[in-house]
Structure 1
């Protein structure tokens, strides 16, 4: 294991001795030679957008009749970064191929990245050669001023979201009437996952300053878990809305929320498995791009289907029951934030508008907890009424027995007059099941048109 400050480190497998050449009694035994190159500029390459970010080290066997390659056990090479990779840019493990392009060049055949941090990268290769690590610098760097502003926005946004996510969880947990339905229970679990993610992120820098390896792994494990749990609950929210609005079923599903909880908090098993298989993954850079992308694709598909279904319901609803454009926009914005679709902005952070998209991505996602509080607490009448019943005093207090769906706040409900029946010719005298059903549906449609339908 390399000491702190080691610039280059090579660990050779035991199977390497099987590749030693045969030698006679009057010949020198084979040796392993190591070379260290302190001038990286000696290795000039035509790789665009990539730079050699380490010194070059090589290992070879003397008197070998052929190159040492295709080893059954890997050679482990750890190289120190000349420029700290604090932005977690893509790194590539390569070796110098003297036969490439006629004059030599970097090649990655037989080499792969094992793990990488801001200071070190460990590579695994199946042959002996000249080793190095390339750093991808093709993406536009964020200037220090914008980077500092984005950092401040991130910490402030996460702090604000943590506060309002806590209020949301407390509100829906304390007031039993608010958590009777499935959407509210799913919202509680989603808010808990996002609250955990924000809190761990806020204390991450402080805990990492202690320099304790075990604490670093624990924090990375916790953050990875809450991130995956947040996306899982966003996906379950999309699935529930799909079931409720598209696949409308009246069949009782036993332990519906219990099954959702088992799936929603399932990433705990995944994180434990990663911890058992490769604990070093949590001490370096662990990417979750693939699960995140799949989750966003699933949410986006369900989002489009749900919007189409809601639109069809509004078109087919009787006249006088359609809501305005602002109400529809509010519903779309609420769904977008609840399903975490603002994360898709992160896939557009390239090109000339990269800085603008980074600001939008930072604001939307760090303040997601605040937006959830606004749409699902502040703008919901039943939540405001519970606040007024249990938390307010004086003229702002609302008596619990006066809470009625048809009554305004503080105003008694007025009886609605019976709607006048339109004179229609009677068709009940015709002895036909079709005419009877037509008459019944006609009466039903007249009654429904007189009352405001519930908002879907």
Structure 2
């Protein structure tokens, strides 16, 4: 989903057709499931009170906008309207930078969840939302006035051209997109490793308590909830976008396929994670949870460690 910015990028027509087909189906499914997740979120007043859920919803909104602009990008490019193409390229770039930024803010929120902070930060969510949406707008505005957006042509080995609206300066693409994501990836991947270690330790502690309580020597394996948690963290932090770093040499084409498949279906996996980890409890429902249920919930959702910032 981060295209090469060379004006005469050449790729096999078969591979381009396959990648386009996978992307179209995946983005379509992602938009559908992300919209379902957004609809579910706004129906559940209890979920809207969670800071972690609201941050996740901002990421889902950014991904919905990115998928929609990607699906309609080629159509706008083929209209021949240069102004419209520049606007589409700028808006798609804005959605991409917002998505990267929200990956980083998700990681930051997880770090704050695990840290011990005594002084709460006022208007925490407002500050996070400004940080997530405002800086990318400034970058895109500057690039737009620098005339860095236009119609980009991708050529195949059969001579069939495919057009899209994107950044026409490769140096800008590598610095602004690849460079920025490299910083985000370093932070999010480190957070992912830390959270993975935290989940493993929590799993061992929970299994030890259950073993002591039951007096059984049976070992507890990795369950479906643990796998979904790890996958959810991977997609929520944007770790799968790291495959873009391997798009060189002999790994170029395989990385294109892996990158396209994983990130085209990212919305679907995020929906599964959101559905699995969210607490859908009505306002009138009051239930006493057992300690085992509480431990299981904490195991499924590391985001729900409540804290005021």
Question: Which bracket does the TM-score occupy, shorter chain normalised?
Answer: 0.7 to 0.9
Contact 2:235–2:270 (Cα < 8 Å) also in 1: yes
The match for 1:455 among 293, 298, 302 is 298
Q: Does 1:360 align with 2:229?
A: no
Tell me the residue number matched to 1:404. 287
What is the CA-CA distance between 1:244 and the residue it aligns to? 0.5
Tell me the residue number matched to 2:149. 282
Tell me the residue number matched to 2:92. 223
Q: Does 1:331 align with 2:229?
A: yes
Aligned CA distance change for structure 1 residues 221 and 87 (closer, same or farther; 3 Å): closer
Greater mean deviation of Cα atoms: 360-369 or 165-174 = 165-174
Alignment of 1:243-392 (within 5 A): 243-245=112-114, 247-266=115-134, 267-276=136-145, 278=146, 280-283=147-150, 284-285=168-169, 286-287=172-173, 288-317=177-206, 318-320=208-210, 324-326=221-223, 327-377=225-275, 379-380=276-277, 382-383=279-280
State the TM-score, normalizing by the size of structure 1: 0.53
Alignment of 1:189-200 (within 5 A): 189-200=58-69
What is the CA-CA distance between 1:275 and the residue it aligns to? 2.3
Unmatched runs of 5 consecutive residues or more in structure 1? 1-85, 90-116, 119-136, 387-399, 407-415, 417-447
Secondary structure, in 3 states, of the residue corresponding to 1:404?
Answer: coil
Q: Flag the structure with more relative contact order, 1 or 2, with Cα contacts below 8 A and sequence separation at least 6.
A: 2
What is the CA-CA distance between 1:402 and the residue it aligns to? 5.3
Whole-angstrom distance in 1 between the partners of 2:21 and 2:257: 11
Secondary structure, in 3 states, of the residue corresponding to 1:265?
Answer: helix
Unmatched runs of 5 consecutive residues or more in structure 2? 151-167, 212-218, 300-309
Tell me the residue number matched to 1:166. 35
What is the CA-CA distance between 1:202 and the residue it aligns to? 1.0
The match for 1:151 among 6, 11, 20 is 20
Aligned CA distance change for structure 1 residues 316 and 251 (closer, same or farther; 3 Å): farther
- Per-residue CA shift, 1:294-315, capped at 9, x if unaligned? 1111111111122223333444
- Per-residue CA shift, 1:174-198, capped at 9, x if unaligned? 3211111111000110011111111
What is the CA-CA distance between 1:222 and the residue it aligns to? 0.3
What is the CA-CA distance between 1:293 and the residue it aligns to? 1.5
What is the CA-CA distance between 1:292 and the residue it aligns to? 1.5
Whole-angstrom distance in 2 between the partners of 1:452 and 1:380: 13
Name the structure where strand makes up a greater proportion of residues: 1
Aligned CA distance change for structure 1 residues 403 and 350 (closer, same or farther; 3 Å): farther
Contact 2:103–2:236 (Cα < 8 Å) also in 1: yes
Whole-angstrom distance in 1 between the partners of 2:21 and 2:35: 21
Whole-angstrom distance in 1 between the partners of 2:293 and 2:264: 42
State the TM-score, normalizing by the size of structure 2: 0.76
Whole-angstrom distance in 1 between the partners of 2:36 and 2:178: 30
Pairwise CA RMSD of aligned residues? 2.7
What is the CA-CA distance between 1:168 and the residue it aligns to? 1.2
What is the CA-CA distance between 1:156 and the residue it aligns to? 1.3
Contact 2:47–2:278 (Cα < 8 Å) also in 1: no
Whole-angstrom distance in 2 between the partners of 1:263 and 1:87: 27
Query: How many corresponding residue pairs?
Result: 264
Secondary structure, in 3 states, of the residue corresponding to 2:63?
Answer: helix
Secondary structure, in 3 states, of the residue corresponding to 2:103?
Answer: helix
Alignment of 1:20-169 (within 5 A): 88-89=5-6, 117-118=7-8, 142-169=11-38
What is the CA-CA distance between 1:324 and the residue it aligns to? 4.0
Aligned CA distance change for structure 1 residues 309 and 87 (closer, same or farther; 3 Å): closer
The match for 2:109 among 224, 240, 262 is 240
Greater mean deviation of Cα atoms: 168-177 or 184-193 = 168-177
Whole-angstrom distance in 2 between the partners of 1:200 and 1:300: 27
Contact 1:142–1:355 (Cα < 8 Å) also in 2: no
